[in-house]
Structure 1
Amino acid sequence: MKTWFSILKSELSLIIEDKSILLTCLVAPILYAFFIGSIYSEKNVSQIPIAVVDFDHSNLSRKVSQLINTSEKTSIEAHYSSLEDAMFPFNNLEVQGILILPKGFQKKTMNLDGSHIEIILNNTKFLTSNEINKSVQQVILTVAGGVRMQYFISNNIPVELAQQKAQPIMPVVKSIYNTTNNYGDYLLPILLILILQQTLIIGFGQSVVHEFKHGVLKTVEAYDFYAFIKVLSAKSFYYIALYIAYFFVFYKLIFPHFSLSLNGSILLHLLLSTLFVSVVIIYTILFASFFKTTIGWTEVMAFSTYPLFLVSGYSWPIEAMPLGLQMFANLLPSTPYFNIFNALATEGAKLENITNGFFHLLLLFLMGYLLLYVRFRFIKIKLPKKAAVT
């Protein structure tokens, strides 16, 4: 068997010679970080162009249009008398939304009967569509409150009491951890970490598949578990060192470049990142051992990125998922790590505040090691049978 340093040297040669691994692990993390980051570089969008279709042509409908136009986030580009006319600039992406004010809007509103308005949004840009939706809702709530207040005043109710009755609950929103109250600032840090996770899984997995098919692990039946782990530790050394360096570069250069906050101890960030990378490495070895070709591994893992992100619980609460998905999510290293990172980076948490996530990651590491041992025993039993048939 090759020595540990011989395997280390062979792995470096493989990384340099295999263009797929080289591009995935050395080029893709930085390239995709700036590519994805540039999409959210304008995280605080404003003056989003929209169109208005006013079927009512009333004083109130015109007032609504004026208020929406003076909003910081939206700007009315044009008014149309028919939806068909408004759809033309919408389909050409000249406007990002269409507000439809129905006939009878003023009459129903003033009579407190309620009137339904419609918004057509371009959801390919969820940041802009979300801002349009919020701006229109805020204006409509303001107008509705004013109408109710005038109604109460007309019934000889004092102004202060009329104001309370018109808006009995006044929402007060104070952004604590996301000071800009912007979804881009919330989402982008995790997308950057997801880039590191997926490029590590794809690149290192290709190396593991190659090792089982062409490298020293081709004759894995001749190994004991200690020698098996020795080979894999030598192969993974470069990747662990490289990706810890990536985490440091992301924290110190890329996060500040995109004006993303990173609170908490940088040393604690790196220690937990090391544990996270180690868990990802263990599970990558385990699952890559089931694949016969590097192309098959790459195809499956490339398409797993978005589903794994959705299941991790960052964009949707795990508690709201079906029980089966909850169990699956808690087996993913990204689930506890995303929570840990969010607590550290945005809330400035300390180690004692994230012990649950830390032990969750540690448990996944130990469980992965145990599963890898079981997988190794299975391979040992299975391979000699193949040899005998051949």
Structure 2
Amino acid sequence: MKNWFSILKNELALIFEDKSILLTCLVAPLLYAFFIGSIYSEKEVNEIPIAVVDYDHSNLSRKVSQLINSSEKVNINGHFSSLEEAMFYFNNLEVQGIVVIPKGFQNKTMNLDGSHVELILNNTKFLTSNEINKAVQQVVLTVAGGVRMSYYVSNKIPLDIAKQKAQPIMPVIKSIHNATNNYGDYLLPILLILILQQTLIIGFGQSVVHEFNHGMLQDIESYSFYDFMCVLSAKGTYYIMLYVVYFFIFYKLIFSHFFLAFNGSICFHLMLSGLFITIVLLYTILLASFFKTTIGWTEILAFSTYPLFLISGYSWPIESMPEPLQVVTNLLPSTPFFKIFNALSNEGAHLVDVSKEVMHLLILLALGYMMLFVRFKFLKRRKPKVITG
């Protein structure tokens, strides 16, 4: 068998010969980082244009419009007496939302009967639609609370008790993972890490599929597991070094370019990132052994990014997922790594604070190694032996 350094040399030759691997591993990470990052470059949105359709024309409806317009996030660009007229500006993207105040709004509100304020949003830009929704809801809740308090005071209820009755539950918001309370700051760091993960899986997987079907591993029946792992470790060494460098570039340069929070020791971050990369490589080898062509591998994995992100536990709690999906989620290396990254970079956590997640990564490392051993034994038994006479 060729020695370890010869295999590493051959891997470097394959990377520069195969344009697909070259583009995926050397060009795509930085290209996609700046492309995706540019979408969220203006993470703060202010003075979003909206319209108001006031069917009530009352003092209270005008007060609601004034309060909405006083918000720094939205700006009322027009008051209309019909929805059709406002929809013309909405469909031409001159306004991003429409607030519809119904007829009888003041009377129903003052009588505590309740009234429905409709909100039409352009959801193609979720950052702007989210800010409009929050601004309008905050104003409506404030007005409703003020009306209730006035009602209680008029009924001879002491002011302090009236305030408590009007607003029995006071929200207290303390940002933890999202210190700026900004969706772009919350989402972009993980998207950047996801870019590194997916380009690594696709690029290294293409190399592994090629090795199983056209390289040294097509004669797998003559290999011991030790020889098998030597071949794969030589192939993987380049990717580990390359992606540790990528993580360093992302943490030190790209994160600062987009003004993203990054706290904690860079060395500790890189050590855990190296562990994460190693686990991803093991899982990639395991999955790539089931594919016959690099095109098939690329087509399947290219569509895995969004599902992997959704079930990573970052977009919603793992406990809220169906139980079978929770099992899959906890088998993904990105699940504990995303938690570790958030704790270190946003909360300034230390090793003791993320020990559970680090142990999770180490368990996945051992599990990946064992599954690969089982897969090797299966491939070796299945491979027909050639008998020469």
Normalized against structure 2, the TM-score is what? Answer: 0.96
Percent identity of paired positions between Structure 1 and Structure 2: 74
Aligned to 1:227: 227
Please tell me the residue identity of whatever aligns with 1:238: Y
Once the two structures are TM-superposed, the CA of residue 149 in structure 1 deviates from its matched residue by: 2.2
142-151 vs 369-378, which deviates more? Answer: 142-151
SS in structure 1 at match of 2:2: coil
Q: Match of 1:269?
A: 269
Report matched runs for 1:42-53 at 5 Å: 42-53=42-53
> Which residue number corresponds to residue 18 of structure 1?
18
For 1:365, the equivalent position in structure 2 comes to 365
Distance 1:370 1:177 in 2: 34
Q: Which amino acid is 2:259 matched to?
A: S
SS at match of 1:12: helix
Letter in 2 for 1:278: T
Residues 177 and 342, structure 2, Cα contact 8 Å, conserved in 1: no
Q: Work out the CA distance in 2 between the residues paired with 1:164 and 1:364.
A: 51
2:181 alignment partner in structure 1 = 181
| One-letter code aligned to 1:273 | S
Structure 1 CA distance for aligned equivalents of residues 373 and 173 of structure 2: 52
Per-residue deviation, residues 53-111 of structure 1 (Å, max 9, x unmatched): 21212111111111111101011111222222222222222221111111111110011
CA displacement at 1:167 relative to structure 2:
2.3
Question: Could you say what secondary structure the match of 1:354 adopts?
Answer: helix
Instruction: Tell me what 2:5 maps to.
Output: 5
Q: What is the aligned partner in structure 2 of residue 311 from structure 1?
A: 311
Q: Find the aligned partners of 1:296 and 1:96 in 2 and give their Cα distance.
A: 41
Deviation for aligned residue 1:159? 3.7
- Contact 2:179/2:346 (<8 A) preserved: no
Residue 318 of structure 2 aligns with an amino acid whose one-letter code is I
The residue number in structure 2 matching 1:56 is 56
User: Could you say which residue in structure 1 is the equivalent of 2:135?
Assistant: 135
Residue 248 of structure 2 is aligned to residue 252 of structure 1? no
The separation in 2 between residues aligned to 1:367 and 1:84, in whole angstroms, is: 60
Structure 1 residue 39 displacement after superposition: 0.9
Equivalent AA in structure 2 for residue 254 of structure 1: I
Aligned residues of 2:319 and 2:326 also touching (Cα < 8 A):
yes
In structure 2, the partner of 1:88 is 88
1:320 & 1:163 partners in 2: Cα distance?
35
Distance 2:285 2:176 in 1: 40
* Residue range with higher mean Cα deviation, 257-266 or 150-159: 150-159
Q: Report what 2:325 is aligned to.
A: 325
CA distance in 2, matches of 1:288, 1:97: 47
- The structural deviation recorded for 1:176 is 4.7
Between 22-31 and 218-227, the greater mean CA deviation after superposition: 218-227
Which residue does the alignment assign to 1:31? 31
CA distance in 2, matches of 1:273, 1:315: 21
Corresponding residue number in structure 1 for 2:193: 193
> Structure 1, unaligned stretches of length 5 or more?
none
Query: Secondary structure of 2:262's partner?
Result: coil
- Does structure 1 retain, via aligned residues, the 8 Å contact 2:177–2:186? no
* Counterparts of 2:325 and 2:139, CA distance in 1: 39
2:300 corresponding residue in structure 1? 300
TM-score by length of 1: 0.96
- 8 Å Cα contact 2:208-2:289 kept in structure 1: yes
How many aligned positions are there? 387
1:106 aligns with 2:115: no
Give 1:4 deviation, angstroms. 1.0
Q: CA deviation at 1:146?
A: 1.6
Aligned-partner residue type, residue 320 of structure 2 = A
- For structure 2, which runs of at least 5 residues remain unmatched after alignment? none
Tell me how far 1:292 sits from its aligned partner: 0.7
Residue 280 of structure 1 and its aligned partner are, at CA, apart by 0.1
Task: Tell me which residue corresponds to 1:380.
Answer: 380
Q: Distance in 2 between matches of 1:126 and 1:21?
A: 34
Structure 2: distance between partners of 1:53 and 1:22? 55
- State the distance in 2 between where 1:362 and 1:161 align: 55
| Of 326-335 and 140-149, the range deviating more from structure 2 | 140-149
Partner Cα distance (1:78, 1:108) in 2: 25
1:150-196 superposed Cα distances (whole Å, 9 cap, x missing partner): 22233333444433332233323233553321111111111110000
Instruction: Tell me how far apart the structure 2 counterparts of residues 235 and 179 of structure 1 sit (CA, whole Å).
Output: 40
Match of residue 204 from structure 1: 204
Counterpart of 2:15, as a letter, is I
Counterparts of 2:368 and 2:158, CA distance in 1:
69
Give a deviation string over 1:219-276, Cα, whole Å, max 9, x none: 1122111111111011111100000000111111111111111111111111110000
* More deviation, 51-60/243-252: 51-60
Segment drifting more, 212-221 vs 308-317: 212-221
Corresponding residue of 1:164: 164
